[in-house]
Amino acid sequence: MALSKEQVNSVEEVLKASLRNKFQNYKPEPASMPFHTRLLGKDRLALYSFIHSLNTNFGTSIFEPVGLALAQKNFKMAASQATAGDQISSAAQAEIQKIIDGLITVTSSPNKKEEIERIRKVCQTGQMIKVKPTKVDLMFESKGGAYFLFDIKTAKPNAGGFKEFKRTLLEWVAVVLANKPDAKINTFIAIPYNPYEPEPYTRWTMRGMLDLENELKVADEFWDFLGGKNTYKDLLDCFERVGIELRDEIDDYFKRFNKK
């Protein structure tokens, strides 16, 4: 077992709190669906609506707090919805655009280590510009002083967004280096689970824009990085136990909708 008893308890308490908080604050959209309601019942329709709502913010309401709980034992610093920095050099902005242009026109291939060093060389060159970069979903500092910044995406991200994903990852590098030019910096897209299991995750849509080895972590790659080997398996067991424990509570919640 990768997770300690303390970590398992912490993760399961986070899950329970997140789900109960969702129940307390969830308000179904006031949409009239008479055919669906008569065919399926108000409780099943409410469940469908609830799951759809949960899916849209699963990252912030579930994956972020769970990731934080897992990582706190293994990293010197762990934070969610963090700010990577508030300034970037004009030369770094120009360098990022050159990198993006090269990838779009296929005159270069993604190479994160090389890209980081290109940005490092100009991270304090030119005018320092105040910026508000995209919030970091999960940010860690290892015990060795290296930084790891994660942008958590849905299991099937829109292929058209990869250019902006890449820009976000590079901008995080630039704003961190603007303040700490010698920092060891790593930025990643995280996909919490593989919707294609047992088949491998379809990564071909990201190839050409992301350095798949150094900018992408999927399913067990992500969770095992945070908590250690076999964390992903242990985590699924945590979700199952919480689901069983709260089953009656969940059923009772949705039965209310049949009384309306």
Quickly list DSSP for 169-199.
HHHHHHHHHHH-TT--EEEEEEE-S-TTTTS
Give yes or no: residues 125 and 213 share one domain. yes
Helix (H) or strand (E) segment spanning residue 151: strand 147-152
CA dist 184 and 146 (Å) reads: 5
Q: Look at residue 169 in the predicted model and tell me its pLDDT.
A: 98
201 shares its domain with 116: yes
- Mean of per-residue pLDDT scores for the chain: 89
Q: Scanning the structure block, which residue is given the tokens 């290892």?
A: 142
The amino acid at 26: Y
In this structure, the answer to whether residues 209 and 81 fall within a common structural domain is: yes
DSSP 210: B
Burial class (CB within 10 angstroms; exposed 0-12, middle 13-18, buried 19+) of 24:
exposed
Average pLDDT over residues 77-93: 96
Handedness of CA 106, 108, 111, 115 (dihedral sign): negative
List the CATH number of the domain containing 95: 3.40.1560
Confidence of residue 167 (pLDDT cuts 50, 70, 90): very high
The residue segments making up the domain with residue 254 are 1-74+236-260
Whole-prediction pTM value? 0.88
- The residue-averaged pLDDT of 154-169 equals 84
Q: Tens of pLDDT along 90-145?
A: 999 999 999 999 999 989 999 999 999 999 999 999 999 999 999 999 999 999 99
- Range list of H helices, the chain: 5-25, 34-40, 42-56, 58, 64-71, 90-104, 112-121, 162-179, 212-215, 220-227, 231-245, 247-255
Verify that 184 and 113 share a domain, yes or no.
yes
For a pLDDT cut of 70, what percent of the chain falls above it?
95
Going by pLDDT thresholds of 50, 70 and 90, the confidence category of residue 61 is confident
For residue 159, what are its two tokens?
A: 């292929």
CA pair distance 142, 253, nearest whole angstrom: 41
Number of domains in the chain: 2
